[in-house]
């Protein structure tokens, strides 16, 4: 690079960032020390500086590098009985527990089984879905009541836990 003035104040910084592969000169060998820098270019410089050099900036992951880890099962019920009980749930929660935004039915797939069991008990015991203003909760409460006992709750949640 010919154009930075070797006696100017930032010369050493220009030299360091150029040799560290953080802020390079132009392909024609010039540096243009008086050129303004955009925010986007500054982001490039900072990511290089954080990584150590241009060639050390990691490629962004194409897909997340942390695969979906299924929640550890804490219950073991009768999945076939649960499947039969789940038939009524499909309308609002989806055939694979994916949820239904229009009907306000949240995603159930992937949720911890003990949490689902507790929520179903909460609806049944009137701890959830009782308030007049809780329109969605009040729709869910009678659905939980279709599960006749604790075994029915465990069975349906065992089935829900098979969704991926």
With binding defined as CB under 6 A, does residue 119 bind ligand HEC? yes
Q: How many residues contact ligand HEC, by CB under 6 A?
A: 26
Q: Which residues, 89 to 118, sit near ligand HEC by CB under 6 A?
A: 89, 91-93, 103-106, 108, 111, 116
Q: Which residues, 6 to 65, sit near ligand HEC by CB under 6 A?
A: none
Helix and strand numbers, DSSP H then E, in the chain: 7, 0
* Residue 20 host element (H or E): none
Residue burial 134-153, b: 16+ Cβ < 10 Å; e: rest = eeeeeebbebbeebeeeebb
CA distance 85 to 144: 10
Of the two residues 14 and 120, which places its CB atom closer to ligand HEC in the complex? 120
Binding site for ligand HEC (CB under 6 A): 85-86, 88-89, 91-93, 103-106, 108, 111, 116, 119-120, 128-129, 136-137, 139-140, 143, 146-147, 156
């Amino acid at each position: 690079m010919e154009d930075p003035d070797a006696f100017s104040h930032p010369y050493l910084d220009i030299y360091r960032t150029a040799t560290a592969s953080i802020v390079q000169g132009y392909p024609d060998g010039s540096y243009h020390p008086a050129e303004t820098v955009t925010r986007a270019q500054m982001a490039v410089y900072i990511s290089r500086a954080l990584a150590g050099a241009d060639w050390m900036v990691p490629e962004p992951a194409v897909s997340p590098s942390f695969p979906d880890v299924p929640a550890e099962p804490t219950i073991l019920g009768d999945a076939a009985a649960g499947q039969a009980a789940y038939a009524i749930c499909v309308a609002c929660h989806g055939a694979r527990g994916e949820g239904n935004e229009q009907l306000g039915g949240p995603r159930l797939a992937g949720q911890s089984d003990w949490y689902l069991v507790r929520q179903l008990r909460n609806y049944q015991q009137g701890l959830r879905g009782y308030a007049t203003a809780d329109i969605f909760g009040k729709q869910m409460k009678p659905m939980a009541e279709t599960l006749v006992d604790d075994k029915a709750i465990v069975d349906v949640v065992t089935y829900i836990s098979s969704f991926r």
